[in-house]
Amino acid sequence: MSSDLEYISAVDARRLATDILLALGLSSGHADSIARTVVLAQGDECYSHGLWRLLGCVHTVRMGKVDSRAVPAVDSSAPGVVKVDARYGYSLLAFREGLPELIGKASRLGIAAMAINRCYHFSALWPEVEEIAESGLVALAMTPSHSWVAPAGGIRPVFGTNPLAFGWPREAAHPFVFDFATSAAARGEIELHGRAGKPIPKGWAIDSDGEETTDAARALQGAMLTFGGHKGSALSAMIELMAGPLIADMTSAESMAFDGGAGAAPCHGELIIALDPKIFLGGGMGEHMRRAENMFAAITDQGARLPSQRRYAARARNRERGLPVQTALLAELRETLASLS
């Protein structure tokens, strides 16, 4: 065990997370859906979106920015679209409420989309596309955040860190899943580097004068950079459009203005698209899914790894020994619970 890590069972982690969220005043639906996701992230060693995010929930609630008891409203009236109005609650309960309709529509029509609106969003997207892929569908998910990221060639933030996630179902293996920010790194990674007093890698951010920086605090005050230069910049713009104006919700810049300096979680929309290979492929499904497997094998046979391979390995490891949590974070979470109780 590393000196500053402790291992706690998933059950204990979930109880701690749920207790904090309930003590904060969240409804049990919100508390359950958030606790589930942050514990999954901790167990897969995705620390930037794991238990640490509970501290952000506390801040967002204390700033009066989220409706902790909002009941999402699901509208299934359009043929291939599910609209879920989160009513300024957190996104994860809205996702749970709309998911059966999304899966049902995609399975009937071959393709369907779910627009989640007016949600506070702070979570990783892979749990969502992985769950959809586990049900046999191909999935894409995207969401803006706050405008922290400069476009390629610029120095002023326009985009959010705008994650893009993809899931592909596999018969005899975990789904193929990737999920990454379209910025060079998630903002949460920079914040965690700052907490640990560590410099960030070059290429992640510039300071307020437009100069490259490896200082986390200066990076957070300046502008983050897109991954892959103009390519990440264009993908980030696409996410602003598809999970913003297309679904009548806020862009990252609008979310930032709506926040009004509170430093709360971003508030905007999320778009999730599901496709059913059974309907695209009919009787040829077996053959074509095998061709997909050939492509995966061509990657792994040469020693390269699939995205999510690290995560699935961490999950298997931690199922036995418990979830690794930084000792300092665990103490902070327990103190937070005590202060709320």
Give the residue numbers annotated as catalytic, written as ranges.
48-49, 189
How many Å apart are CA 260 and CA 107, to the nearest integer? Answer: 41
Restricting to residues 17-76, name those near ligand PYC by CB under 6 A: 48
The site map against ligand PYC for 103-122 (x = CB under 6 A) is -------------------x
Q: Using the minimum distance from each CB to ligand PYC, give the nearer residue, 122 or 166.
A: 122
Q: Does 33 bind ligand NDP (CB under 6 A)?
A: no
The listed partner (ligand NDP, ligand PYC, none) that binds 42, CB under 5 to 8 Å by sort, is none
How many Å apart are CA 38 and CA 35, to the nearest integer? Answer: 5
3-state helix, strand, coil in the chain (%, to 5): 50, 20, 35
How many Å apart are CA 265 and CA 269, to the nearest integer? Answer: 12
How many Å apart are CA 181 and CA 187, to the nearest integer? Answer: 9
Restricting to residues 170-209, name those near ligand PYC by CB under 6 A: 181, 186-188
Q: Does 185 bind ligand NDP (CB under 6 A)?
A: yes
Which residue of 129, 181, 192, 256 would you call a contact of ligand NDP, by CB under 6 A?
181
Residue with structure tokens 């599910």? 82
Q: Does 107 bind ligand NDP (CB under 6 A)?
A: no
How many Å apart are CA 207 and CA 190, to the nearest integer? Answer: 13
Restricting to residues 280-319, name those near ligand PYC by CB under 6 A: none
Q: Using the minimum distance from each CB to ligand NDP, give the nearer residue, 48 or 105.
A: 48
From 65-73, 96-104, 120-128, 231-239, give the range in contact with ligand NDP by CB under 6 A: 120-128
Q: Using the minimum distance from each CB to ligand PYC, give the nearer residue, 22 or 181.
A: 181
Q: Using the minimum distance from each CB to ligand NDP, give the nearer residue, 46 or 323.
A: 46
Which residue of 48, 135, 213, 226 would you call a contact of ligand NDP, by CB under 6 A?
48
Q: Does 101 bind ligand NDP (CB under 6 A)?
A: no
How many Å apart are CA 138 and CA 90, to the nearest integer? Answer: 25
Q: Using the minimum distance from each CB to ligand PYC, give the nearer residue, 188 or 232.
A: 188
Of 42, 34, 48, 23, nearest to 94 by C-alpha is 34
Q: CB–CB of 1/26 below 8 Å? A: no
Distances (CA, A) of 156 to 52, 153, 266: 28, 10, 18
User: What is the maximum alpha-carbon separation in the chain?
Assistant: 59
246: amino acid identity, one letter: L
Q: Does 105 bind ligand NDP (CB under 6 A)?
A: no
Strand, coil or helix: what is 290?
Answer: helix
Of 158, 157, 256, nearest to 210 by C-alpha is 157
Residue ranges in contact with ligand NDP by CB under 6 A: 46, 48-49, 121-126, 143, 145, 161, 163, 165, 178-181, 185-186, 189, 305, 307-311
**Which residues of the chain form contacts with ligand PYC (CB under 6 A)?**
48, 122, 145, 161, 181, 186-188, 266
